[in-house]
């Protein structure tokens, strides 16, 4: 007797919430874990939003991901890191990461746009106090910006660790959003004599500029080679 085939496993996904379902273009939203992580892993700068003295504040900073967790670093004297360490359960934040992949130039000014991929994370940021987790988080931050760099540099010493604060933000309330494709001009504008189309953007390493004090013969590492 032929057995019943097992259903294919469903991809892991984050659960939508009122804060992660966009009111504009909700069809562009995704909660797929693999997509969310890919967008986060490709970036290195996030924008961290929080409320200070009743007013919103947004700061750009570096981050790194380990599984369903983000680490953000800064000075122990910075306001958000101090606040996260002294409040219980932590500091409510909104963290965003965005990639602009192309400019979309339309015949009309109204329909100009960009192709993009973004992630929005809501949650409670907590200060990392465990020394081993803190060291591992800082290695993650370094490798997130330049993969392979943590093992190719001196680790932070005690004084540097004391001057550096790390926040932990669990990826629980998360959404991705993206726009792809071409121009969405109105039909009556299609005959206008203006160029329209998509201008792709690209990023990558340029030629490394060595420090003037390098030891003779020191060459750029392979991980800085242009892709």
DSSP states of 86-101 as a string? HSSS-EEEEEEEEEEE
| pLDDT at res. 88 | 63
Q: CA-CA distance, 204 to 224, in Å (whole number)?
A: 10
pLDDT for res 1: 45
Residue numbers in the chain where pLDDT is lower than 70: 1-11, 75-88, 226-227
Q: Where are the domains of the chain?
A: 26-181
pLDDT for residue 173: 97
CATH number for the segment(s) 26-181: 2.30.110.10
Q: What is the pLDDT of residue 53?
A: 86
| pLDDT at residue 203, rounded to an integer | 87
Q: Determine whether 171 is exposed, middle or buried from the number of CB atoms within 10 Å of its CB (0-12, 13-18, 19+).
A: buried
Residue identified by tokens 């005690």 is 158
Query: What would you report as the CA-atom Rg of the chain, rounded to the nearest whole angstrom?
Result: 22
- Quick one: pLDDT at residue 83? 62
* Predicted local confidence at residue 227, as pLDDT: 61
Give the chain's length: 227
Structure tokens at 204: 């990558």
């Amino acid at each position: 007797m032929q057995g019943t085939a097992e259903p294919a496993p469903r991809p892991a996904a984050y659960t939508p919430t009122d804060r992660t379902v966009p009111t504009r273009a909700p069809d562009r939203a995704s909660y797929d874990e693999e997509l969310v992580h890919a967008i986060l892993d490709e970036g290195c700068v996030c924008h961290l939003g929080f409320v200070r003295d009743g007013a919103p504040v947004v700061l750009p900073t570096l981050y790194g991901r380990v599984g369903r967790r983000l680490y953000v670093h800064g000075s122990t004297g910075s306001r958000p890191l101090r606040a996260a360490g002294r409040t219980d359960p932590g500091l409510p934040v909104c963290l965003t990461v965005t990639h602009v992949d192309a400019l979309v130039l339309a015949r009309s000014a109204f329909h100009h746009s960009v192709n993009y991929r973004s992630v929005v994370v809501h949650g409670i940021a907590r200060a990392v106090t465990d020394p081993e987790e803190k060291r591992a988080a800082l290695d993650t931050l370094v490798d997130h910006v330049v993969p392979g760099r943590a093992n190719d540099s001196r680790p932070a010493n005690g004084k540097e660790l004391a001057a550096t604060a790390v926040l932990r933000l669990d990826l629980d309330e998360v959404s991705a959003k993206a726009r792809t494709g071409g121009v969405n001009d109105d039909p009556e504008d299609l005959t206008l004599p203006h160029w329209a189309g998509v201008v792709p953007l690209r990023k990558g390493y340029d030629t490394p500029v060595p420090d003037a004090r390098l030891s003779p013969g020191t060459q750029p590492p392979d991980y800085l080679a242009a892709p």
